[in-house]
Chain A
Amino acid sequence: MTECPVCAADVESKDKIAGEVFPCVDCGTELEVRALEPFAVEPAPKEAEDWGE
């Protein structure tokens, strides 16, 4: 269990894998699992306007 870095909602670690991207249930921010022990998430990088160019 950890907190969403944007809205402080509880974020469950159950069944999550490293690198997984999932939305926060409250604010909808796309979160990326950065570590499992201890469980840590960060806002996932957003696609920029020039992504892939």
Chain B
Amino acid sequence: MKVAVVGGSGYVGGELLRLLLGHPEVTIEQVTSDRHVGAPVGRVHPNLRKATSLAFSPRASLRAADVTFLATPHGGSAPIVPELLASGGVVIDLSADHRLKDPSHYPRYYRQEHPHPELLEEAVYGLPERHRERLRTARLIAVPGCIATAAILALAPVAAAGTGPGRRAVVDAKSGSSASGRDAGPAGQHAERSGAMRAYAPAGHRHAAEIEQETGIGVALSCHAVEAVRGVLATVHLLDGDPPAERELWKIYRAAYAGEPFVRLVHGSDGIHREPEPKILAGTNFCDLGFASDPAHGRTVLLGALDNLGKGAAGAAVQCLNVRAGLPETTGLGFLGLHPV
């Protein structure tokens, strides 16, 4: 399978290249970056030294491939997708440009009109745990946001089971610095970021729209920057109603994710790793889920942890590729993580 990567110089692009270079069914034909034209991939992504002889080419030279990955900034994918689809290939978009079904959400959350709203209905949300069958034949796949993935996988089973205590949730998310990309600006500088425990979006974060779209539950999302390079931890609070007992929560989550290769239930009775923690998930495609019942406060607590560059971006994209190509879903995604790390 011949693939191309557009926008391969960012953190998501680098992680995607790392995974694709280890994928036994993939040949990377081309990787583009207008900023690094001519530079060997290993010069921009030092972990990929000697792993490939590829060099970055300009986007204008992009050739048709069986699958084209778009690791572009938000707003950078939508203008080029129609032409790529016309070439007959599959497009896997890691930007936010095709995640939301309602065109009116783009000016609200991304401050611009969508240039091709006719493609939004066709685009399949790239979460195999929820849309596997549609992904098998999709032409255009929209890889979810990292915080959205953690929150959706944590919240959806309770929402779908109908045993949740209400239709509103508060999501408190912590994320590592790589989530803001390679061009994070002043907020990403060491002096500003090191030691940070900063609420960067107490309200109004754009991923709330994805979570609401996928779960049908009203979501109040607050996001925080913490002292980590990789990782997202989403803590979801369902506050209005009678929480299911923990035995019931176990049953709900087991039923929802039985057979899922990348979702693990983590709610131990003791030990330091009894709840999901992103630290041990770096470089993996896992999303670890936990939960707790708090009947004294009418609260159900749901936890989702992942690597924002893994299951939160590039890993999810490769998982979608595997589904679309009819390959075992774990192909090229077998890394189990490091401990200690």
Interface residues of A (CB under 8 A from B): 5-9, 24, 26-30
B111 within 8 A of A: no
Known pairs A6-B246, A24-B269 / 19 extra A-B pairs, C-beta < 8 Å: A5-B247, A6-B247, A6-B269, A7-B247, A7-B250, A7-B267, A8-B250, A9-B254, A26-B250, A26-B265, A27-B250, A27-B267, A27-B268, A27-B269, A28-B269, A28-B270, A28-B271, A28-B274, A29-B269
- Quick one: closest B residue to A9, CB to CB? B250
Interface residues of B (CB under 8 A from A): 246-247, 250-251, 254, 265, 267-271, 274
A5 to B247, CA, bound (A): 8
Q: Which residues of A contact B268 (CB under 8 A)?
A: 27-28
A27 to B250, CA, bound (A): 9
8 closest cross-chain pairs (CB), A and B = A28-B268, A29-B269, A7-B250, A8-B247, A28-B269, A8-B250, A27-B269, A8-B251
A22 to B254, CA, bound (A): 21
A26 to B249, CA, bound (A): 13
Q: Which residues of B contact A6 (CB under 8 A)?
A: 246-247, 269
A8 to B267, CA, bound (A): 13
- Quick one: closest B residue to A30, CB to CB? B269
Q: Which residues of B contact A5 (CB under 8 A)?
A: 247
Which of B251, B268, B271 has its CB near the most chain A CB atoms (within 10 A)? B268
A28 to B272, CA, bound (A): 12
Q: Which residues of B contact A7 (CB under 8 A)?
A: 246-247, 250, 267
- Quick one: closest A residue to B265, CB to CB? A26
CB distance from A2 to the nearest CB of B (A): 13
CB distance from B122 to the nearest CB of A (A): 39
Q: Which residues of B contact A26 (CB under 8 A)?
A: 250, 265
- Quick one: closest B residue to A46, CB to CB? B270
A37 to B321, CA, bound (A): 50
A–B complex contacts, Cβ < 8 Å, 16 sampled: A5-B247, A6-B246, A6-B247, A7-B246, A7-B250, A8-B247, A8-B251, A9-B250, A9-B254, A26-B265, A27-B250, A27-B269, A28-B268, A28-B271, A28-B274, A29-B269
A24 to B247, CA, bound (A): 13
CB distance from A15 to the nearest CB of B (A): 23
Q: Which residues of A contact B247 (CB under 8 A)?
A: 5-8
CB distance from A45 to the nearest CB of B (A): 13
A27 to B265, CA, bound (A): 9
- Quick one: closest A residue to B247, CB to CB? A8
A29 to B268, CA, bound (A): 7
Q: Which residues of B contact A29 (CB under 8 A)?
A: 269
A13 to B274, CA, bound (A): 25
Q: Which residues of B contact A24 (CB under 8 A)?
A: 269
- Quick one: closest A residue to B248, CB to CB? A8
A5 to B269, CA, bound (A): 12
A8 to B254, CA, bound (A): 10
CB distance from B158 to the nearest CB of A (A): 16
Q: Which residues of B contact A27 (CB under 8 A)?
A: 250, 267-269
Q: Which residues of B contact A28 (CB under 8 A)?
A: 268-271, 274
- Quick one: closest A residue to B268, CB to CB? A28
CB distance from A44 to the nearest CB of B (A): 10
A28 to B273, CA, bound (A): 11
CB distance from B290 to the nearest CB of A (A): 11
CB distance from B86 to the nearest CB of A (A): 49
- Quick one: closest A residue to B270, CB to CB? A28
Which of A9, A28, A30 has its CB near the most chain B CB atoms (within 10 A)? A28
A52 to B254, CA, bound (A): 39
A7 to B254, CA, bound (A): 10
